[in-house]
């Protein structure tokens, strides 16, 4: 996170006595990354966050991948994948490597437990739906188009609004996710040329400490397993916190596109960076304004990246046969570009209303068995076979 924020009640100076009304001490917890040298926050609990009554294994996690086959462009029709459950159990993992796992989910119920991922940050893109992200940092309302960025170790649960259809794109990083360094000055402030800034980031809004006893379940994903910890007190017992590390929302509609006289390359759409991959936002924008411009993307070979594009809304300038929530995957080393007729047809167009999320990885992705069940197997031939009537 790039700026300081505080919520609730905290003492004047850190690591000093901070007492509850009955005279007992509040329990301080430091949450930080990179071995005490990265960003951090200090939280103050009513009860020690270390008290646990029981521990049990919930499940082991072993993704099953397709065997090696012909390298080709792929199209996953994720709208055909139906999932139920909460924001964790409804996840359908599709693509993964050592740096990232990409899933889709359609939660149909609230989480009855809290959850934390121990190995990296999570980014959930809210395609459809609204509700509340509850964490020990407070309540954060979400809406369509939000990126919810949840730092590693944050304890959270998703509480969808009742009766509202939910559709999520989930990006699970094996590391930390942040705005690109080139958008920030050396003090961490967004620069004038960055496509978004601090005012666009929404931290938790309200903090409501819960002082309750009982049996409260927290599930932790770590080391290829999910473990349940049963706490004797409510885990949302934080009375105040401050620092730079906290979950936040950023809505894709607040990304200000960078345009030019001729076609701009994908890095102008970059929104976040993480070890081994980047996340980009393609938003409605004015197109190229050189008198001889060709607005559709040129054919290109991104030789070091697998390109994953999640289609959100709109008519896509360069693709036929793409539907809402489609995912296309173009592997590194193979050229790709507009479908037949799209390149020339773009001449003279002055704007696009497409909305999409792109994930470029720097290591090859593997496809899960669940992904294969959603594949459009004719996509690789769609530059030769005109599928505009399909």
What are 58-113's pLDDT values in tens digits?
Answer: 999 999 999 999 999 999 999 998 889 999 999 999 999 999 999 999 999 999 99
314 falls in which pLDDT band (50, 70, 90)?
confident
Domains of the chain: 254-381 (2.60.120.10)
Mean pLDDT of the chain: 94
- pLDDT above 60 for 388: no
| Rg of the chain (C-alpha set) | 22
What was the pLDDT predicted at 1?
Answer: 61
Q: What are phi and psi of 217, to 5 degrees?
A: -95, 130
**If you average pLDDT over residues 200-205, what whole number do you get?**
98
Q: pLDDT exceeding 70 applies to what percent of the chain?
A: 98
Per the CB < 8 A criterion, the answer to whether 76 and 322 are in contact is no
Residue 386, pLDDT score = 56
Which whole number is the average pLDDT over 206-231? 97
pTM of the predicted model, to two decimals?
0.95
Selection from 39, 167, 163, 189 nearest residue 104 by Cα = 167
| pLDDT average, residue stretch 350-365 | 95
Q: Which residues pair with 177 in a beta bridge?
A: none
> Which residues lie below 8 Å from residue 196, measured CB to CB, with a gap of 6+?
179, 183, 190, 250, 254, 255, 256, 271
Query: Which neighbouring-strand residues pair with 366?
Result: 96
Considering only 43-57, 107-121, 170-184, 290-304, which range has the smallest mean pLDDT? 290-304
Smallest Cα–Cα separation from 218: which of 207, 232, 205, 208?
232
pLDDT at 322: 86
Task: Report pLDDT for 390.
Answer: 36
In terms of Cα–Cα distance, which of 286, 218, 195, 204 is closest to 247? 204
């Amino acid at each position: 996170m790039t700026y300081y924020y505080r919520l609730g009640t905290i003492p004047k100076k850190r690591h000093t006595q901070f007492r509850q009304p009955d005279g007992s001490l509040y329990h301080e917890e430091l949450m930080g990354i990179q071995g005490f040298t990265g960003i951090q926050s200090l939280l103050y609990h009513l009860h020690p966050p270390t008290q646990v009554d029981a521990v049990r294994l919930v499940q082991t996690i072993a993704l099953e991948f397709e065997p090696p086959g012909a390298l080709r462009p792929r199209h996953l029709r994720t709208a055909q994948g139906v999932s139920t459950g909460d924001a964790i159990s409804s996840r359908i993992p599709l693509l993964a490597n050592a740096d990232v796992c990409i899933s889709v989910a359609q939660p149909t119920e609230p989480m009855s437990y809290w959850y934390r991922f121990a190995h990296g940050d999570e980014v959930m893109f809210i395609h459809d739906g609204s509700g509340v992200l509850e964490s020990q940092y407070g309540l954060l309302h979400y809406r369509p188009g939000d990126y919810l960025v949840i730092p590693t170790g944050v304890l959270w649960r998703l509480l969808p609004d009742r009766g509202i259809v939910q559709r999520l794109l989930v990006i699970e990083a094996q590391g930390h996710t942040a705005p690109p360094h080139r958008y920030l000055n050396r003090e961490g402030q967004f620069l004038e040329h960055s496509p978004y800034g601090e005012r666009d980031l929404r931290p938790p809004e309200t903090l409501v400490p819960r002082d309750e006893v009982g049996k409260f379940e927290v599930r932790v994903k770590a080391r290829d397993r999910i473990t349940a910890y049963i706490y004797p007190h409510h885990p949302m017992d934080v009375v105040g916190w401050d620092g730079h590390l906290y979950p936040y929302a950023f809505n894709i509609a607040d990304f200000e596109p960078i345009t030019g006289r001729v076609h701009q390359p994908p890095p102008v759409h970059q929104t976040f960076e993480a070890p081994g991959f980047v996340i980009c936002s393609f938003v409605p924008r004015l197109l190229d304004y050189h008198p001889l411009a060709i607005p559709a993307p040129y054919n290109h070979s991104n030789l070091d990246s697998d390109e994953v594009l999640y289609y959100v809304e709109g008519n896509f300038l360069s693709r036929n046969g793409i539907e809402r929530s489609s995912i296309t995957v173009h592997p590194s080393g193979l050229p790709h570009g507009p479908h037949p007729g799209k390149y020339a047809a773009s001449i003279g167009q002055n704007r696009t209303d497409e909305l999409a999320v792109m994930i470029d990885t720097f290591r090859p992705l593997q496809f899960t068995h669940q992904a294969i069940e959603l594949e459009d197997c004719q996509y690789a031939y769609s530059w030769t076979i005109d599928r505009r009537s399909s």
